[in-house]
Structure 1
Amino acid sequence: MTHSMSRRVVLLTGASSGIGEATARELAARGDALVLAARREDRLRALARRLDPSESRVIAVPCDVADPAAREALVRSALDHFGQIDVLVNNAGVGLGGGAWWENPDWPRVLHVNLEAVMALTALVLPGMLARGRGHIVNVASVAGQVATEGAYSASKFGVRGFSHALRRELWSSGVNVSVVSPGFVRTGMTARSRLPMPGPEVVARAIAGVLERPRREVTVPRLYRLAALAELVPALSDPLIAHGYSARRRRR
């Protein structure tokens, strides 16, 4: 066990690329100890070595968060190495890559990775946080969890937000904080085919680091997307606009 009580221990999922990789870099630069989890072992271990060649402050644990046994092994590895988990950042997420969700047999995996794993990992780390009277759960949702855009993905992200807001109330006065970070379009592997102008994942990484320093209920980034969430309050406006987008995509296929 190499835990230093002056150093915050962060368990970060989906760490091998995109928002997760940017967050790992941001938190490592701030001095946090990191447990990095993702499926792509080569990328994950290479990132951990770049951030901490000694492999004492940053460790890589290959993990498919949709696998219950892998989740348990991940938490056990973090505790064996550092002794405790101060922060859980549930960032791992998948999408279907376009097309009708009901025509894609992989749609249940979106719910397993994006929602079930968030709840399951939270359940694994919460007892230790509650026993110490401190901790922080940060769940990465999406603007698609504020504005319904695609059946399976939006269902999972609406679920993440609902779970997070309920959990925050369930843990009121416990010393354990719960925050949601909801990104709009940012430049990652999931958005590689989009032609929209968008910032890099660093904007989300900074938002995650920000809520750890100053806990907040929910942060939407980039800020422009806060306006998109308001459109959902006026279905007569949002329904035709979003439906038109789907029709245009179907015509291009």
Structure 2
Amino acid sequence: MSGKQQGYGGRRVVVLTGASSGIGAAAAQELSARGHALVLVARRREQLHQLARQLDPSGTRVMAIPADVSDPADRAALIGAALAHFGRIDVLINNAGISTGGGKWWEHEDAAQVLRVNLEAPIELTRLILPQMVQRGSGQIVNVASVAGQVGVQGVYSASKFGLRGFSFGLRRELLGTGVTVSVVSPGFVRTEMTARSGLPMPGPEAVARAMADILERPRREVTVPGVYRLLSALGRVFPGLTDRLVRRYLSR
């Protein structure tokens, strides 16, 4: 699939989860500015509808669907609503993600919810959308993972992002020759609600939003953003002991 492919009204129809804030909201603005038709999905109803109205007051090119992607009924309903409105889905961006927040994951009352949102939901949304893409011979799946899925730093969160990357790379090979591409965007530390407690310097979510929009025009296996994290990820693989010391010094709280 290339940036020349057209969908609804000469645009590609993009389903974007986790769209109400942070990277998702920035991505919605970037994708809208590039002319894509959008299906914005998130749990926060008010923020989601406000963003949709801001991007497209007419409601014809951008639609908001409040949904919990970890709920099977909500997943089926949002795909049905998107197809009813636009007639097709050209791109699925699985951006919704959560962590256990502060403290240790084993002290969290439902740490498995991280796996349901970050890993199970992308797999199941892909399963719902993929048959029509394969039949059509075109489509794009973009999964937003994390540098924490390249270098493990938090047990359950890293497990979800390692798993998402593994799913993406395996699916990419399964789909070779079908016209459907699979890409991964792996952000490092970026200013969002999830990183609000961190004192590390970090860019805003717009940097990731641009990478997500670019990958729709030029599909790639994986993009790590900011780019410096590619070096840090390689360092983690080659010198794990040094990475242990860095994590203990800068990330352990």
Q: Into which bin does the TM-score normalised by the smaller protein fall?
A: over 0.9
Alignment correspondent of 1:229: 233
Alignment correspondent of 1:117: 121
Alignment correspondent of 1:46: 50
What letter matches 1:75 in structure 2?
I
**Residues 31-70 of structure 1: pairs in structure 2 closer than 5 A:** 31-70=35-74
2:161 aligns to what SS in structure 1? helix
2:54 aligns to what SS in structure 1? helix
Q: Which stretches in structure 2 are left out of the alignment for 5+ residues?
A: 1-6
Structure-2 separation of matches of 1:5 and 1:94: 34
Deviations 1:10-48 (A, max 9, x none): 000000000000000000011100000000000000000
Deviations 1:148-185 (A, max 9, x none): 00001000000010000000000001100100000001
Instruction: Select the residue among 25, 47, 60 that pairs with 2:29.
Output: 25
Instruction: Select the residue among 131, 137, 150 that pairs with 1:127.
Output: 131
Alignment correspondent of 2:3: none
Structure-2 separation of matches of 1:208 and 1:145: 17
Structure-1 separation of matches of 2:168 and 2:176: 12
Q: CA offset at residue 131 of structure 1?
A: 0.8
Residue 238, structure 1, aligned to residue 238, structure 2: no
RMSD: 1.2
Alignment correspondent of 2:222: 218
1:232 aligns to what SS in structure 2? helix
1:10 aligns to what SS in structure 2? strand
Alignment correspondent of 1:206: 210
Structure-2 separation of matches of 1:122 and 1:15: 17
Structure-1 separation of matches of 2:181 and 2:218: 10
- Maintained 8 Å contact 2:42/2:65: yes
Q: Taking structure 2 as the reference length, what is the TM-score of the superposition?
A: 0.95
Structure-1 separation of matches of 2:25 and 2:250: 31
Identity %: 65
Deviations 1:32-73 (A, max 9, x none): 000000000000000000000000000000000000000000
Moved more, 214-223 or 233-242: 233-242
- Maintained 8 Å contact 2:82/2:88: yes
Residue 160, structure 1, aligned to residue 157, structure 2: no
1:61 aligns to what SS in structure 2? strand
Structure-2 separation of matches of 1:225 and 1:43: 31
